[in-house]
Structure 1
Amino acid sequence: MTAMDLPTRTGTTGRTAASVMDRVRAYASTLPARAPEIERLGRIPGDVLDGLKATGLLRAALPAAGGGVEMTVPEVTRAVELLAEGDASVAWCAAVALNAALAVVSLPAEVSAELFPDPDLITVTVLPPAGRAVRSGGGYLLSGRWTYGSGITHADRVLAGFRTPEGAPRIAVFDAVHARVLDTWQTTGLRGTGSHDFEVADLFVPERHTFAPVRSGTRQEPLHLRADNLALKMAGVPLGIARSALNSAREILADRRSALPRPAAPADLAHAESLIGAAAAYVYATLEDAWAAQAAGLAPERGTAALARQFAHRACREAVQLLYDAVGSAAVYTERTPLDRCLRDVITAGRHVASSEKILDGVGDLRLGGEPASPHL
């Protein structure tokens, strides 16, 4: 069974995976006009967030009983790619917000309904246990500082990892209004994500609003069968960024075909297209295979999808650099072309732990008989 063979998945709102993809495609087409503003602001404006919520994509990983659509991993990745082609920061924040499903499927139904009365709430997820807690009256007093809080300036909820007094890792869910945002996101790329550090001090979190990280194989739903499934969608970010750069470079070079900035520009354009195409084929082939295996109740080969994701970042970064160079000096004008922003965004995105060079170390060790601890494999 492949993803295409799966039955139509319809949420309680009547949305289907196909209708969500159509809405995402239409919404993504409006993002290039807003991208310079999003970068200048360092956050996503309210009306752009409203448009994202209206697509239904934030429900993609939620169970149907909770208003979700239960899209496949390849479908979610493709949706993220479409968003990234319009604006990488919106795509990144949307991908992070989808991780709210970890809480929804881990907590009792009545607690999930209490914390997420609206399936379209924006959630920040920082899962490493950077916080510390002491027990207090049926819950915890939580303190700590978390880094890379993508979307924290516009979030409704926060998922933050911490350690219990006994040392066990858990994840707390709380209202984002309780987080003190620290102005730390001074970066080259993905500026619009507003991925600032944030902190809380002695915040009371009821025990029922926390849950333990769940190991692979403890759930039966294909989307949540493996702990790394929700990380797989991040491959859509570099693919979308690279396609944006490719489209822009092709348009610029076509207009200047009689006076190209460099003799090798056509070859560089073609080389970049081949890199992006190869990365996309690798990513979606591995995702389709992994999804088909999980839908059939089988365990996919570990590490393969992570390798494809890491390759996509490397190949797309090389492609965007080629396109930037092919266009020449015109690439530096950020208000005229997205190429400069694309290059900075794809470099920054590649620093994420789920796509960094450490993935190669982990998969290599796995192939040689080791047992790497990374949750992204």
Structure 2
Amino acid sequence: MPLSLLDDVRKLTPEIRALAPQIERDREVPPHLIGRLTDLGVFRLAAPRAAGGLEAGPSDLVDVCEELGAADGSVGWCAMIGAATGMALGRLPQDTAADLLTDPRFLIAGVAAPMGRAVPVDGGFRVTGRWPFASACRHATWLVGGVIVAPGDVRLAVMAAGELTIHDTWDVAGLRGTGSHDIEAVDVFVPGDRIFSLAAAPVQGGALYTFPPLGLLALGIGAVALGIARAAINDFAELARSKRNPVTGEAIAAKPSVRTAVAEAEALRGAGWAYLKGEVATTGTDPDRRARLRLAVLTATRNAAQAVDLVYRAAGGSAVYAASPLQRHFRDVHVATQHAMVGTDVLETAGAVLLGESVSTARL
């Protein structure tokens, strides 16, 4: 990753924070902001260098997603989806990947869940299906959908975004600006070089593509959640210094309960960050390594939610107003915890692996 990219992302933070109310109201990140992120290379972070991507390391991906999550949860989420899904190009032939990346507006998004069917035909497949939770789909140039080719044969199809229908379904409590609508394909032809399996060895040989693929896709969830928690703690600290006790006239920052809340919140956030970054830095694809990585992602996400809860409660009635960013952070982080990648079944599977129990690790 170019050394300047994270600094350039940080420079966007004031603009993104100012746009947060509009992003929530419109249920979409403004196209001009997506364009800024595109120009910086955010959506090429996990695409192969040989084909025109940045092929950054997983730790770099975490840094960028956390920073953008702190600026705005929805922006961080869309960046996470677009950046991480770029790893799909590492499993396509190099010429195919390079062709997809020729578009300067390149942004690939989609849904890995196998909710479509792919019928083999000459030269490729005919794909039909409907996938919910397709974050950033309105901005994507390419959309991925999980498909079943035959019983036990699950693959991912890369389709031109213009060939799919977007159904406006994303009217939700939090992360409203992610535009995570349903996408639908009806008998869309997908050439054979644009369909692949996560279970197969990657075509590209870089270290990024030996990282557990589902782990790579999950990383950004924890990173964005931790960014939201950082923003919530900072916003609460600002409130605590300015909000006055109506009886004593003192800033509420003087209250022991407020001090305790912000300290505990920062400890939870910091522990989640250290755990996540530490596991990302450890290599390996064996079940134990994958279980520990996913456990770190899940813990980071849950720690972030607990941190936000602490400062939200400590803020009292001030936090419930629409003008308060704390209520938005509260809603955003709790939508992040609902993602299947950080669900209780992942925790149970990780525990079974750590105990040496016989269990399917396909979702790790």
Relative to the length of structure 2, the TM-score reads 0.91
Amino acid corresponding to residue 348 of structure 1 in structure 2 = V
Where does residue 260 of structure 2 map in the other structure?
A: 267
Q: Deviations over 1:93-118 (max 9, x none)?
A: 11111234333211112222233323
Where does residue 359 of structure 1 map in the other structure?
A: 346
Give me the whole-angstrom Cα distance separating, in 2, the residues matched to 1:376 and 1:286.
Answer: 18
Give me the whole-angstrom Cα distance separating, in 1, the residues matched to 2:286 and 2:2.
Answer: 23
Q: Indicate which of 29, 48, 54 corresponds to 1:63.
A: 48
Where does residue 245 of structure 1 map in the other structure?
A: 232
- Consecutive unaligned residues in structure 1, runs of 5 or more: 1-15
Where does residue 159 of structure 1 map in the other structure?
A: 144
Secondary structure of the 1:33 match is helix
Where does residue 348 of structure 1 map in the other structure?
A: 335
Q: Indicate which of 290, 293, 318 corresponds to 1:302.
A: 290
Q: Which has the higher helix share?
A: 2
Distance 1:216 1:251, change over 3 A: farther
- Consecutive unaligned residues in structure 2, runs of 5 or more: 245-249
Give the Å deviation of 1:59: 1.8
179-188 vs 83-92, which moves further:
179-188
Where does residue 118 of structure 2 map in the other structure?
A: 133
Q: Is 2:147–2:157's contact at 8 Å kept on the other side of the alignment?
A: yes
Where does residue 317 of structure 1 map in the other structure?
A: 305
Q: Identity across aligned pairs (percent)?
A: 35
Secondary structure of the 1:158 match is strand
Q: Indicate which of 191, 213, 216 corresponds to 1:206.
A: 191
Q: Is 2:45–2:84's contact at 8 Å kept on the other side of the alignment?
A: no
Amino acid corresponding to residue 112 of structure 2 in structure 1 = L
Give me the whole-angstrom Cα distance separating, in 2, the residues matched to 1:281 and 1:124.
Answer: 28
Q: Indicate which of 131, 156, 180 corresponds to 1:195.
A: 180
Q: Is 2:84–2:217's contact at 8 Å kept on the other side of the alignment?
A: yes
Residues 277-288 of structure 1 aligned to structure 2 (within 5 Å): 277-288=270-281
Give me the whole-angstrom Cα distance separating, in 1, the residues matched to 2:158 and 2:115.
Answer: 14
C-alpha RMSD of matched pairs (Å): 2.3
Give the Å deviation of 1:212: 2.3
Give the Å deviation of 1:184: 1.7
Q: Deviations over 1:276-302 (max 9, x none)?
A: 1111111112222x1xx35xx999723
Q: Is 1:43–1:154's contact at 8 Å kept on the other side of the alignment?
A: no
Q: Is 1:27–1:52's contact at 8 Å kept on the other side of the alignment?
A: no
Secondary structure of the 1:34 match is helix
Amino acid corresponding to residue 82 of structure 2 in structure 1 = A
Q: Is 1:56–1:120's contact at 8 Å kept on the other side of the alignment?
A: no
Relative to the length of structure 1, the TM-score reads 0.88
Secondary structure of the 1:276 match is helix
Residues 1-377 of structure 1 aligned to structure 2 (within 5 Å): 16-118=1-103, 120-165=105-150, 168-215=153-200, 220-225=205-210, 226-227=212-213, 228-256=215-243, 258-260=250-252, 264-288=257-281, 290=282, 293=283, 301-335=289-323, 337-377=324-364
Give me the whole-angstrom Cα distance separating, in 1, the residues matched to 2:56 and 2:227.
Answer: 19
